Amino acid sequence: MLWNSIILAIREIRRNLLRSSLTCLGVVIGVSAVITMVTIGNGATKKVKEEVESLGANLLIIRPGQRPRHFGVRETAKPFKLRDVEAIRREVYGIEAIAPASSVGTQAIYTNRNWSTIVTGSTNDFLDVRDWKLEMGRRFLPGEERSGQAVCILGHTVYKKLFGNEYPIGKRIRLKKISFRVVGVLKEKGQSSFGADRDDFILIPIKTFQRRIVGNTDVTNIYVSVKQGYSIDRVIQDIKLLLRERRHLRADQEDDFYILDMREIANVLSNTTEVLTSFLAAIAAVSLVVGGIGIMNIMLVSVTERTKEIGIRMAIGALQRDVLLQFLIESIILSAFGGVVGIVVAIIASIFLCRSLLVPFILDPKTIIFSFGFSILVGAVFGFFPARKAANMNPIEALRHE
């Protein structure tokens, strides 16, 4: 009986193919929207995690002043010095690498080409803590760092803007009327999720930066990479105690510096994208319910159109459950077909959108199974009322129907 009901349902659907296709459209849109939103959300979450990890392994960033409040405004405090960096390196256990850093915007010039960029003064450790790799050339030599020589390493964007395809190693560029010799070029990292170009900067030795670019001994950022296996929280606590002592802060005074833990930033960004993904998927799921209402409306029309057929079937011995099963199966087949088409549409749309948005394509099988199962549930729930209406018809009244 079940197989016969399936055959009858498919036959009826094929008889009104255009109407059946339009009926499935709501389910197709709902299923494809849910899967697409979740897929893009998963890709965005992974991209955020990868970008935070690309900043450096177990990275801490120490900055003077209090943590930013009120739309990014923060209280200023005296900057760090190189001796603070050496004190942290010497007295805090569990540090893999530590790098002082200060930055300023300037114009880089090579022959008749120029480019406005950021110049950062730091050490070779900056490349380690920020996980930068060299594409060509070398790092700074120890003597170049100690004496503050005019050498530089270019980010990939600056290299392309100034040199194009020309080999840059050994060539000289001008920064603030000072000639710098190019000793290296960094591998490309590309844009961040927020649209910032991570390759648009020039790295020079910190002492060169202090003496010849800004004319002071300030350090505005300290980057710290924690060794694997060491407690990051313990390292943070030790750094705080040491800096409070060096900055002569009393017990009742707040820290005039703050430490950014990249783990916290990664967790906040990941949680935010996950919440947004769930919210968008929930909104998309509403269209599935709308599709179910469409199925119910069409099935009610179908019951009215086939009243005489129902009366004949019941008159020759069909039971109420047989009629109920036939119409219920027809509704489920419609929603299942819409679910299958929706999955195909979602996969195609997700691939296209992920490529357009430059996020990884991560298709979750659980989402597909859930969406397809939910579409069948919608068909069963919204198809039950028309099926019950058909099953409860009086055969005599149904046969009289014109």
Per-residue pLDDT of the chain (402 residues; tens, 9 = 90+): 566 667 776 777 777 777 778 878 888 888 898 899 889 888 888 887 777 666 655 889 999 987 665 444 445 678 899 999 999 999 999 999 999 999 999 999 998 899 999 999 999 999 988 888 999 999 999 999 999 999 999 999 999 999 998 999 999 999 988 999 999 999 998 776 566 788 999 999 999 999 999 999 999 999 999 988 888 889 999 999 999 999 988 888 888 899 988 777 777 777 778 788 888 788 777 877 888 888 888 878 777 777 777 777 777 777 777 777 887 888 888 888 888 999 999 999 999 998 888 888 888 898 899 888 988 888 888 888 888 887 787 766 767 655
Which pLDDT score, from 0 to 100, does residue 159 have?
95
Specify the pairing of strand 59-64 against strand 221-226. Answer: antiparallel
Which pLDDT score, from 0 to 100, does residue 110 have?
94
> How many Cβ atoms sit within 10 Å of the Cβ of residue 126?
24
Tokens of 374: 């939910």
Tokens of 356: 């357009």
Which pLDDT score, from 0 to 100, does residue 73 have?
44
